Structure 1
Amino acid sequence: MIVASSTRPLDEMAVRTSFARFRIASIVEGIALLVLVAIMVMRYGVYGGEGLFTSTSATWDQISSVWSPIHGLIYMVYVILAFDLWMRMRWGLPRMLLLMFFGVVPVLSFFGERWTHQQVESDLSRRPTLQDQERPA
């Protein structure tokens, strides 16, 4: 007999572990994205034009060329951990797209992490888990 994924109990311990990893990745991604935005502002806004600070533009070009790939790697790890949480929670595709979007807009990952925490807690209290059978009545 095939059981639909929505009726199978969630593994609460695996979900909580997955969410803890996602939470750390959200915070790290949020900070990394803010650093990237600051670098881009310095590179193109403050030091990018012709004028007094033109000589330091090469410095910000160098910093940007180092930090951009690091941020890209951090975002990829964030997406992988979001995917892991999404799979364990068995959410729909729009939720995965939303989790990915949280890591693209500066500061949104911090709010997205809080929102995701509420969704995880709500789903764990509402949906059956493997650990429900182990708890005393």
Structure 2
Amino acid sequence: MPTPRPLDDVACRTSFARFRVASIVEGIALLVLVTIMIMRYVVFGGDAWFTSTSPLWEHVSSVWSPIHGLIYMIYVILGFDLWLKMRWALPRMLLLMFFGVVPVLSFFGERWTHQQVEVDLQQRPTLQDEAEAAPGA
């Protein structure tokens, strides 16, 4: 069985730092979106469900929804970047994407991902380990 290519510790940690920020921003953005939807359809929705909404919350929703969509796309791209740098299996990538879909889950997913990054960087060979072991380094 061939030995796996070493990870780049610095690139992995940098990628995770970007993903961490994106996770927190996505979590907050999703909570804001859920709050807007509750205000639009439940609190100010009137008697008929989904038919009579407040014009203010309808406008706020139409402005915030695309912003949240852009934030989620950035989150996905940064999650993909982390996944590539860590050389994880496909199910891990799908899990990273799922963390950004369920409200509040991105905060827990970020902590779990941090632990996984640390464990993998401890257990798997890195370029920095090779540089330290090389003679004359």
**Aligned counterparts of 1:129 and 1:93: Cα–Cα separation in 2:** 21
Give the structure 1 partner of residue 26 of structure 2. 29
State TM-score, norm by structure 2: 0.90
Partner SS, residue 100 of structure 1: helix
Give the structure 2 partner of residue 126 of structure 1. 123
Q: CA RMSD in A?
A: 2.2
**Aligned counterparts of 2:53 and 2:95: Cα–Cα separation in 1:** 38
Give the structure 1 partner of residue 104 of structure 2. 107
Cα distance, 1:56 vs structure 2: 7.3
Which amino acid in the other structure matches residue 110 of structure 1? F
**Aligned counterparts of 1:121 and 1:88: Cα–Cα separation in 2:** 13
**Aligned counterparts of 1:90 and 1:48: Cα–Cα separation in 2:** 47
In the alignment, structure 1 segments of 5+ residues that lack a partner are none
Which amino acid in the other structure matches residue 19 of structure 1? F
**Aligned counterparts of 1:86 and 1:100: Cα–Cα separation in 2:** 11
Q: In the alignment, does 2:79 pair up with 1:96?
A: no
State TM-score, norm by structure 1: 0.90
**Identical aligned residues as a percent:** 76
Q: Deviations over 1:77-135 (max 9, x none)?
A: 00000000000000010000000000000000000000000000000000000000233
In the alignment, structure 2 segments of 5+ residues that lack a partner are none
Cα distance, 1:136 vs structure 2: 6.4
Give the structure 2 partner of residue 77 of structure 1. 74
The answer on whether the counterparts of 2:27 and 2:105 sit within 8 Å (CA) in structure 1 is yes
Aligned residues: 132
Which amino acid in the other structure matches residue 56 of structure 2? T
